[in-house]
Chain A
């Protein structure tokens, strides 16, 4: 009896310090939290660039091995028209590939959420498809469908749809069964429950899946061009590499990083638009 009391006191005590710590953390971030969240990664990048510049200048490294950031910037600026043209081609494949992946993931996960036996059959197939390296698929797609953007878009869509499909499916299936029976008692059909319960439950997970996808879809697009394309950052990088223009390879890399980061940031905008309740909850926590 007495040990039980002590146990309970201990639980309450630890929980209390937990909330106090959380409160402290919260009040910390309130003091200029947003500023530091943006400023600290920028400062880190700036510091890295400075170290890089100094290392190249003072170490006397051959620019074809590792060009300095200023050299990358200058040659990149000089070739900006060419880079922009190629970046536009890559961006096209990336965005349409993203669209293909989203549409396919939504359709596949919705169908699978309705038909349980199909899940066990289709999911392993998807995972198998995901395990085939794009480096192998890309030349095959060129052989089968040619050098145009269309087959590349489909390829990028196929290799990047799995994480999104799985996160949406998991979200659709994680809806509270008690909430489903409550809605049924209110007269909702299966389809209505899907729209009013399963989809909103899945949205936060879907956005997480989308965010993961943006981290590699640009790389997938570049790889899809590697084996042959009329234009694109992938083909540009390969050409410049063969010409020992390492500085332009780096310039193209930075452009692709910028595209990736922009897409990543856009997922936060999407979250802000689609999940107003999460927006309010996060604001309340800050």
Chain B
């Protein structure tokens, strides 16, 4: 049995502030296999972003360890991340924004542009390579940011609420597109979100975090094959899981919705 691509082994994170120690993450364990799409969902302020920063190797956990293919200290960076803000540089065109990761990683500008040009149709950006970010719609900006992340060819993609700022219809459209993209390219993804349908629709497995300090409250496997279609939203599996998650994640949900059946 090969090691999982990513293992998060009992990590905790405590921040020291003037008011004393604040525990943000408490004993989080999770794993991601190659080609899996895993979501982490939790209430606002639950420490999702802290977990994200640890996975992105920008923050070290206070205890516990993160292993990549069983290696605690991989030599090459193993993840590329897409932050909440698209962080497109206003002075760069679409192609140069998208190739930023490649160029900063040492690739020549021309070669990077050629590589981007190959991927533009997949990201529905053909013909817009010379546009500046301010000339794009919100959905297009997110696709450029995602292209910039994917094209770095790192083994793991980290997405932090990538569609949070978009309107409902654009968000839904991008979710469908992302589902197809990930399945076709076999991408390994960790998605951080607080959008319950999004997490269910896209993922093989959902980790539900509690309020701060965050612990894993629930692990939900989503066996339905990916990519899923619209009909998934009316499947019994989806409605059942959605209700369970909402009950878990909202303060009043458990009381008002009530839980029945074996799931409770």
Report yes or no: A277 in contact with B91, Cβ–Cβ below 8 A: yes
Residues of B within 8 A of A275 (CB): 91
Report yes or no: B134 in contact with A277, Cβ–Cβ below 8 A: yes
Q: Is B245 an interface residue (CB 8 A)?
A: no
Q: Which of B68-99 contact A (CB under 8 A)?
A: 77, 80-81, 83, 85, 87, 89-91
Grouping DSSP codes into helix (H, G, I), strand (E, B) and loop, the B interface class, with mixed when no group exceeds half, is: loop
Q: Mark A164-183, 1 if CB is under 8 A from B, else 0.
A: 00000000000010110111
- Known contacts A178-B83, A275-B91; decide if A185 and B77 are in contact (CB<8 Å): yes
Q: Is A65 an interface residue (CB 8 A)?
A: no
Report yes or no: A187 in contact with B77, Cβ–Cβ below 8 A: yes
Q: Is A200 an interface residue (CB 8 A)?
A: yes
**Which of B80, B85, B91, B132 is in CB contact (< 8 Å) with A185?**
B80
Q: Is A188 an interface residue (CB 8 A)?
A: yes
Report yes or no: B87 in contact with A178, Cβ–Cβ below 8 A: yes
Q: Is B126 an interface residue (CB 8 A)?
A: no
Q: Is A128 an interface residue (CB 8 A)?
A: no
Residues of A within 8 A of B132 (CB): 277, 280-281
From residue A190, how far is it (CB to closest CB) to chain B in Å? Answer: 12
Q: Is A186 an interface residue (CB 8 A)?
A: yes
Residues of B within 8 A of A187 (CB): 77, 104-106
Residues of A within 8 A of B135 (CB): 280, 284
Q: Which of A103-154 contact B (CB under 8 A)?
A: none
**Which of B58, B89, B101 is in CB contact (< 8 Å) with A197?**
B89
Q: Which of A176-211 contact B (CB under 8 A)?
A: 176, 178-179, 181-183, 185-188, 192, 196-197, 200, 203
Residues of A bordering B, CB below 8 Å = 176, 178-179, 181-183, 185-188, 192, 196-197, 200, 203, 275, 277, 280-281, 284
For the complex of A and B, 10 pairs with smallest distance between CB atoms? A186-B104, A188-B104, A186-B101, A200-B91, A277-B132, A187-B105, A277-B91, A179-B87, A187-B104, A182-B87
